[in-house]
Amino acid sequence: MATCVIAGVIALASMGTFSKIIEDIHLPVSQGVYSDASNPSVSLAPSPNFFNACNPNTIDNSQGCIQATQSAIDRARKIEGLGPIELPSDFAQLSAPVQLLDVINQERTARGYRRVDHLSSYLTSVSKRGATTNSDPSPSQSWAGNFTANWAGGIPNALAADYMWLYDDGVGSPNVNCQISSDPGCWGHRNAILAHFPKSGSLSFGASLVAESSSGQGYYDSIAMVLGIAS
């Protein structure tokens, strides 16, 4: 079902009614940041397939789309021995950065990693530049300390990005940097989210979801996030 084209660290694929899923990763190079998370033995295509419940032509926070995506996440978490995520009643009305921060904190703390301390307006602006240009976001040299970053296009909402980055990132997924299990890019998006950061310093987060990237490639939506501690 998937047609993949390799372009650097960018993956293009076909899934459900969404014509393209593109993913990019910035993995930490700093000595103080690493991921020791246990990765799943297999990549899980979403079940239920929320792409069939979501509008492929726009950002979709409709009840049906959110419920299908949450069900897929809960199924994947159950396989890992984790309980379901808990979404606030107004989740659909929250901004994408707040949505993704809420879910990522649940994903991190469920596995024993430190919570993100706060939503950063600066990292959100950095993420927006990445989202609007279909590129991997990166803080300025004056800010950059320890950080990781993810980017994806063709994802209907922040909750779906959480699923694809954490649960469908191994062999057989849209991650073309993971053709065989020994490829270093396998589970790279997951490891960026579940990175171990030093205990000192404020762990900050930023994210942005835009309805269409400025590159004109027609992905309709593009999402980027940065997680890190300023230098």
Beta-bridge mates of residue 229: 146
Q: Is the pLDDT of residue 47 over 50?
A: yes
The one-letter amino acid code at 220 reads Y
**What b/e readout covers 107-119, taking b as 16+ CB neighbours within 10 angstroms?**
bbeeeebeebeeb
Q: Quote the CA–CA distance of 15 and 18 in Å, as a whole number.
A: 6
Confidence of residue 141 (pLDDT cuts 50, 70, 90): confident
**Confidence (pLDDT) at 146:** 85
pLDDT recorded at residue 1: 26
* Higher pLDDT among residues 119 and 179, named by residue: 119
Examine the pLDDT at 125 and tell me if it is beyond 80: yes
What one-letter code names the amino acid at 58?
T
Query: How would residue 110 be classed by pLDDT, with cut points 50, 70 and 90?
Result: very high
161 forms bridges with which residues in the sheet? none
Domain boundaries, the chain: 5-229
| Share above pLDDT 90 across residues of the chain, in percent, rounded to a whole number | 56
Whole-angstrom distance between the N-terminal and C-terminal Cα of the chain? 44
Mean pLDDT, the chain, rounded, equals 83
Q: Are strands 22-26 and 146-153 parallel, antiparallel or unpaired?
A: antiparallel
Does the N-terminal peptide bond of residue 48 adopt cis geometry, omega within 30 degrees of 0?
A: yes
Place of tokens 């404020």: 202
Q: Of 204, 218, 223, 193, nearest to 132 (Cα)?
A: 223
**What average pLDDT does range 66-81 have in this prediction?**
97
Q: How many Cβ atoms sit within 10 Å of the Cβ of residue 142?
A: 7
